[in-house]
Chains A and B, each alone.
Chain A
């Protein structure tokens, strides 16, 4: 997909001044946080389950090759096929090969991996018509946009915007009256998509989990679109990444107890669906073919470095919902598929640090993401590690590297540090001349552009400490 992570600062600025976006974000943010808090509080065993879940994922990652091979064997035993893809291009080619050259209508359930490989674009180039069937995904497909949240893709859209979109796009189905109430909006989408569900030969879904024990792919949903997208078409194709595998059905049950609560505050979603192979000989519905496309795209590299823990991520979105930066600017500003804290780690690792150099800095290191992460991923540490890499690889500006070097020099020399900070405080106090703050300062426009810098008051911390 279009990669604009390099434009992060500009995009964040635009987002802060986007009235509709700010209204939509304001509506969303409190809800997710409160619902999660209530759901976690209602489960006394939450922390114990969280520890067990981390152990399950660590164990799986430490034996990832064996579990992937077991998964593949089980899929094949049940009559399905596994396709391995090193890169997004390889994954798209594989899926194109399965669908064939004749233009088709292809149903899609929600899948972040399909966004990662930019599947719609690739298949549309071959003349296929892609139908996003998750309501949020459908809305943004009509708007020619990308998901701005990994579990609530249209969270940036207001109801009024959706009304206008449907009013522009739906008259071709004979639906000419504008729909303004939530119920009517949902009903109209149901009506439009129902026809498409009944008339498509190919269905693509994602996977929240892959189960090695049985060769099953699992989706966790609320709408039922992911189910209709796989039981009605002739061919069901699953897009999944290699770290989604868990050893057993019981392991999945443990992770499920965390996923819904962390994502939407639900103990469990309306639908949890396990798909194992194609329809059996005596089944009366279901797909005749079942394919799983397993994507690597940099994950096997992460497995061997300090970012392995990131592969525990179960894509619940809690880190986005609790991030003050995400809450202020929404998901699009991040400029690629995955936004928020998890995205600020994943994006540089998948598309190159030099292409997403601002993202590890889009963080106040407040630690809330790690606190709410059901898989206890040390996101702030990882963002710090990425900042360090940028410094090492000279991706940051010469000026900021120079400033850091100067700081390091001072910080290692306590006497000099005290002398310089004491002097700087006196100078700044003088310059502020009783106003108590600076509207602008040379070399500090990044700070003073959007807020005042308070002038120092009294003595330095170290001087005060010595007097106690």
Chain B
């Protein structure tokens, strides 16, 4: 709206001259909650508390087998829609699996992606949109499997922002901080998983 910008900013400046509110409080370095355990253990515990599941494997070559176990356990097809972010390009997939490297469609069952980082404090995964990681992979399929290296776990959310500021290309279009599968409590405050996003979130955590 023409003039709206100037008028709102003008009103704000006039209001600020008038003062008000409890302005005296000094701004200081914010507190970050102390972690009770080492970051990776804390991350795993919090992740499970948020109803996600996790398999820990010693090395990258073990990842595909862990994924195969997960698919079998949940009676899922070996048709995957996958990202191309690290470390996925290094994985050797079975020849008879059906892999699609594209954004997710409404009827995809399982997606596999990497992550940019993970947060120990809250058990969260951090996903950045980009050519190797379409955001729809995080939301449309019923099962989202994430391959994460333990070295990607940072203590607090602020540590992720430091990594993000240092990265080439600045902010991506979307940053998703994901903590467990989709859920709702809109029917009588009863928590139900799988509202609109994934019904299950599974992390394959690679040591080192």
Which chain A residues have a beta carbon within 8 Å of chain B's beta carbons?
Answer: 24, 27-28, 31-32, 43-45, 48-49, 51-56, 58-59, 61-62, 64-65, 68-69, 78, 83-86, 90, 93-94, 133-136, 139, 152-155, 158-159, 162, 182-183, 185-187, 189-190, 193-195, 197-198, 214-216, 222-225, 227-228, 231-232, 242, 248-251, 253-254, 256-257, 264, 267-280, 282-286, 294, 296, 300-301, 303-309, 311
Contacts and interface: CB of A to CB of B under 8 A. Distances in A.
Given A194-B106, A268-B122, A276-B172, A283 B8 contact: no
Contacts of A301: 11, 15
B55 interface: no
A253 B119 CA distance: 12
A116 B43 CA distance: 39
A65 B192 contact: no
A61 B122 CA distance: 29
A27 B196 contact: no
B122 A224 contact: no
Given A45-B33, A272-B176, 9 more contacts: A27-B188, A56-B27, A216-B171, A225-B197, A242-B8, A268-B179, A277-B171, A301-B11, A304-B18
Contact of B173 (A248, A267, A283, A306): A283
Q: Most chain-A CB neighbours within 10 Å: which of B135, B180, B190?
A: B135
B15 A228 contact: no
Interface of B: 1, 4-5, 7-9, 11-23, 25-28, 30-34, 46, 50, 102-103, 106, 121-122, 124, 129-131, 134-136, 138-140, 156-158, 161, 164, 170-190, 192, 194-198
A406 B170 CA distance: 67
B184 A284 contact: no
Nearest to B157: A253
Shortest beta-carbon contacts, A-B, top 8: A224-B197, A304-B15, A308-B21, A136-B186, A223-B195, A300-B11, A303-B15, A304-B18
Q: Most chain-B CB neighbours within 10 Å: which of A154, A190, A197, A222?
A: A222
A49 B173 contact: no
A68 B12 contact: yes
A152 B17 CA distance: 38
Given A55-B28, A65-B13, A90-B4, A274 B174 contact: yes
Contacts of B181: 270
Nearest to B106: A198
B30 A250 contact: yes
A159 B8 CA distance: 44
B196 A158 contact: no
Given A224-B182, A275-B173, A301-B15, A43 B33 contact: yes
Nearest to A257: B33
Q: Most chain-B CB neighbours within 10 Å: which of A83, A228, A284, A305?
A: A284
A398 B23 CA distance: 38
A254 B194 contact: no
A102 B15 CA distance: 41
Given A28-B189, A251-B30, A268-B177, A86 B7 contact: yes
A159 B188 contact: yes
B174 A231 contact: yes
B188 A271 contact: no
Q: Most chain-B CB neighbours within 10 Å: which of A83, A189, A308?
A: A308
Contacts of B194: 186-187, 190
B1 to A, nearest CB: 5
A68 B11 CA distance: 13
B183 A231 contact: no
A62 B138 contact: no
Contact of A52 (B17, B21, B30): B30
B26 A55 contact: yes
Contacts of B15: 300-301, 303-305
Nearest to B51: A270
B186 A268 contact: no
A294 B1 CA distance: 11
A208 to B, nearest CB: 12
Contact of B178 (A159, A271, A276, A304): A271
Nearest to A43: B33
B189 A155 contact: yes
A114 B184 CA distance: 21
Nearest to A140: B186
Q: Most chain-B CB neighbours within 10 Å: which of A27, A186, A187, A264?
A: A186
B171 A214 contact: yes
Contacts of A264: 185
A227 B185 contact: no
Contacts of B26: 55
Given A198-B106, A227-B176, A309 B22 contact: yes
A235 to B, nearest CB: 14
A271 B106 contact: no
Given A90-B4, A94-B1, A273-B177, A186 B192 contact: yes
17 contacts: A27-B188, A85-B1, A86-B7, A134-B186, A135-B196, A139-B186, A222-B183, A222-B195, A224-B195, A264-B185, A275-B173, A284-B131, A285-B135, A286-B135, A303-B11, A304-B16, A304-B19
